[in-house]
Chain A
């Protein structure tokens, strides 16, 4: 009964709406001073990591026992540590480690949390109970302690630290995704999709995940601060990145012994950790405003 014989010219493709939205969000973030600061620090971190070999004044691993514990000066911007390594260069290379941790944790935690949360929220009932009790078990441990247990079992290394952090970081995401899903699954557009014969997996992927994504993204960003702190904490305890890797937490740990006389050993890595985690918090706050549905409609 439908006349399908008339072909219509293929419509012109407009620029991808996702790109426009991303640009709008960036512009919005850059406008608010706090989130602009977050963006700036993050950009600096990425630049530092990418161009570390160019920006570094020394080899981060090169020891020079004649110039140990030098205070900050022209030769060493941030001074040297107990083995004569340049702290400024080590911080730059440490940015790479921090970024690796953030990147890996995000790509592990985001999908796991989303999957568990949306599946539990969408199906409800027994599926929900089982998945959520598992989540609760993970949530009931302090994250640092649980990470320590994992690392102790798997052996201390950076990769194991990342796995351990991921294991403790997904439950809040799953919780959040579940709560959101439970609201969205009542929506008429989900009912309409079911009436069209869409499978559950299709509904979750096409209809529910896009709705949960903004809040999950915000949560992930806000979580990054905790992730960095946990990584630094594990490094500090000697359970994360191993010497001589220039991980910021490990740098503080080794510098601790010389803290009284040589303040620069712990101050600069500490400042780096502080500013990066602060940047993520501010950025997360900014994202929350930028991704607010009321703001979205205005765009």
Chain B
């Protein structure tokens, strides 16, 4: 279990400041949500934290250690990410076997067959899926493979970038259940981006509302049903979601 902290993260692309300055703390074993409209910079936070983007200022610490100072191999085994689009996150010409064995090979881990079988079992797929290719799988199955790939290096922190927004409701339920179960079993720390407050409410303990690259408010989950937000935008967002759900 490792805590994650983001301090004064800022990034600009050319003359556009995408994140002016973002800070928040995620406790060890917590599921923390990031919500906001498209373009509010919530995915950018994940890409910066995972160093997929490196030209940012500020500090991200995992378990007290700055990610930038972690050796590459250690960083990979501390933090992994699950992407939004299960169709784009698996290499179309790699079999599931090579998707899962590649990280093991890079990190020189032995017992590959056993680890791969275990990873597939963890995400609820039969072991004979190893010899399949992504185009032979459904969206939900692909997302399970993507989660298995993230799990196989046994990280402490998982960054989830809209992991279910490309999936149907029934498949979304399966993936959310899987993610919840894994967190219970392995006490992962989750940082989850979503535009769906119902998903955030179901999964997260606390969440931050983002607008134009800034966090306007950090709220506990309990604040959603009765809309206890103070910031006007957060109130509007929660209000709209509630109306939409007719939960009022």
Binding site for B on A (CB under 8 A): 1-8, 10-11, 14, 17, 187-189, 191-198, 202, 206-207, 210-211, 293, 296-297
Report how far A198 CA is from B108 CA in the complex, Å: 12
1/0 per residue, CB under 8 A from A, across B186-203: the answer is 100000000000000000
Query: What are 10 A-B interface contacts by the 8 Å CB criterion?
Result: A1-B186, A188-B84, A189-B88, A191-B89, A192-B146, A195-B52, A196-B76, A197-B75, A206-B94, A210-B91
Give every chain A residue within 8 A of B95 (Cβ-Cβ): 17
Please give the distance in Å from B145's CB to the nearest CB on chain A. 11
Q: When A and B form their complex, which 5 residue pairs have the shortest distance between CB atoms, in order from nearest? A: A188-B89, A197-B76, A196-B103, A188-B83, A189-B91
Contacts of B52 in A (CB 8 A): 191, 194-195
- A3-B118, A4-B115, A11-B127 in contact; A197/B72 too (CB < 8 A)? yes
A191-B89, A192-B146 known; 13 new pairs, CB 8 Å cut-off, are: A1-B154, A4-B111, A4-B118, A11-B131, A17-B133, A187-B88, A188-B84, A189-B91, A192-B81, A195-B80, A196-B102, A197-B73, A293-B92
Given contacts A7-B114, A187-B88, A202-B106, contact A196 B153 (CB under 8 A): yes
A145 to B119, CA, bound (A): 59
Q: Is the CB of B118 within 8 A of A206?
A: no
Q: Which residues on B sit within 8 Å (CB–CB) of A207?
A: 91, 94
User: Which B residues are in CB contact (< 8 Å) with A187?
Assistant: 88-89
Contact across chains for A14 and B89 when beta carbons are under 8 A apart: no
Closest chain B residue, CB of each to CB of A199:
B106
Closest to A7 in B: B114
B107 close to A197 (CB less than 8 A): yes
A14/B131 in contact, CB under 8 A: yes
Docked Cα-Cα span, A8 to B111, in Å, equals 10
Inside 8 A of B135's CB, which chain A residues have their CB? Answer: 296-297
B93 at the A interface (CB under 8 A):
yes
For B89, list chain A residues within 8 Å (CB): 187-189, 191-192
Which B residues touch A191, using CB under 8 A?
A: 47, 52, 81, 83, 89
* B117 CB contact (under 8 Å) in A8, A189, A194, A296: A8
**What is the distance, in angstroms, from A17's C-beta to the closest C-beta of chain B?**
7
Enumerate chain B residues within 8 angstroms of A14, measured Cβ to Cβ.
131
Closest A residue to B110 using CB positions: A4
Determine the chain B residues whose CB is within 8 A of the CB of A194 once the complex forms: 52
Distance in Å: Cβ of A126 to nearest Cβ of chain B: 15
Cβ–Cβ contact A206 & B154, under 8 A: no
Q: Which residues of the other chain, B, contact A195 by a CB distance below 8 angstroms?
A: 50, 52, 76, 79-81
CA distance A1 to B1 in the complex (A): 12
Give the distance in Å from the alpha carbon of A196 to the alpha carbon of B122 in the complex. Answer: 19
> Per-position contact with A for B120-148: 1 when CB-CB < 8 Å, else 0?
00100001101101010000000000100
Given the known inter-chain contacts A2-B118, A3-B118, please indicate yes or no for A196 contacting B90, CB distance below 8 A: no
Q: Report Cα–Cα, A1/B135, bound state, in Å.
A: 31
A249 to chain B, nearest CB (A): 39
**Chain B residues, CB < 8 A from A3:** 118
Contact yes or no, A192 B149, CB < 8 A: yes
Chain B hits for A6, CB < 8 A: 114, 117-118
Q: In whole angstroms, how far apart are the Cα atoms of A10 and B131 in the complex?
A: 12
Residue in chain B with minimal CB distance to A207: B91
- Decide if B154 touches A2 in the complex (CB within 8 Å): yes
Closest chain A residue, CB of each to CB of B133: A17
Q: Mark B55-81, 1 if CB is under 8 A from A, else 0.
A: 000000000000000001101100111
B37 contacts A by Cβ under 8 Å:
no
B50 — which chain A residues lie within 8 A by C-beta? 195
Closest to B75 in A: A197
Chain B proximity of A295: nearest CB distance (Å) = 12
How far apart sit A89 and B128, CA to CA, in the bound complex (Å)?
56
CB of B21 closer than 8 Å to a CB of A:
no
Highest count of chain A CB atoms <10 Å: which of B76, B79, B93, B106: B93
